[in-house]
Chain A
């Protein structure tokens, strides 16, 4: 149990990389990149978890209870939203590639280049 969450984060990262490298469609590749990205959130939150702790939000519990680490949560939460806009930027690049070259298959794009 003590390394399982880290191992799962590593697995998600490697699975995303594998998909990215073997992808035959740039839209699929962007999806795989977002999978790899989600592994970082899992890793951050796993590092910040404290057994028996609760969320560090004191609206409905008294200050002083055992809480988990808020710093890693702050890092992950902004990145989830910012990551989505970066995904949008990549998808816009894919649209532009399709318009320019008429294909979104990386292998065909490679051949076009010569």
Chain B
């Protein structure tokens, strides 16, 4: 039974890692990376390393996605400001959701 769980969780991790690489849009990649983090936590637990699993859960479930999505938002904002810079002083404002 142990071997079945180890194999299944590692295959899940390998699939999630491959999918994360082939999702080229960073915001959508963040969702896949969060699933990769959860999968790694399971794999660590079935390899009898709950300490590492906890560490991975803390980092992967909320912290890393939050940082990536905030970076994506900032990069988009900078690009928008640059594009609108020629058209007048009203650029860069606009309505945005937070």
- Chain A residues close to B by CB (< 8 Å): 1, 4-5, 8, 11-12, 15-16, 18-19, 23-25, 27-28, 30-32, 34-35, 38-39, 41-42, 45-46, 48-49, 51-55, 57, 67-68, 73-74, 76-77, 80-81, 83-84, 87-88, 91, 94-95, 98-99, 102-104
Q: For chains A and B in complex, what number of residue pairs have CB atoms within 8 angstroms? A: 138
Residue of B nearest to A75 (CB): B52
Contact for B47 among A1, A31, A34, A68, CB less than 8 A: A68
What secondary structure prevails in chain B residues at the interface with A? helix
Encode B40-81 as 1/0 by CB contact (under 8 A) with A. Answer: 100110011111100110110001100110011011001100
Contact B18 A80 (CB under 8 A): no
A105–B10 alpha-carbon span in the complex (Å): 32
A23–B58 alpha-carbon span in the complex (Å): 27
- Chain B residues close to A by CB (< 8 Å): 2-3, 6-7, 10-11, 13-14, 17-18, 20-22, 24-26, 29-30, 33, 36, 40, 43-44, 47-52, 55-56, 58-59, 63-64, 67-68, 71-72, 74-75, 78-79, 82
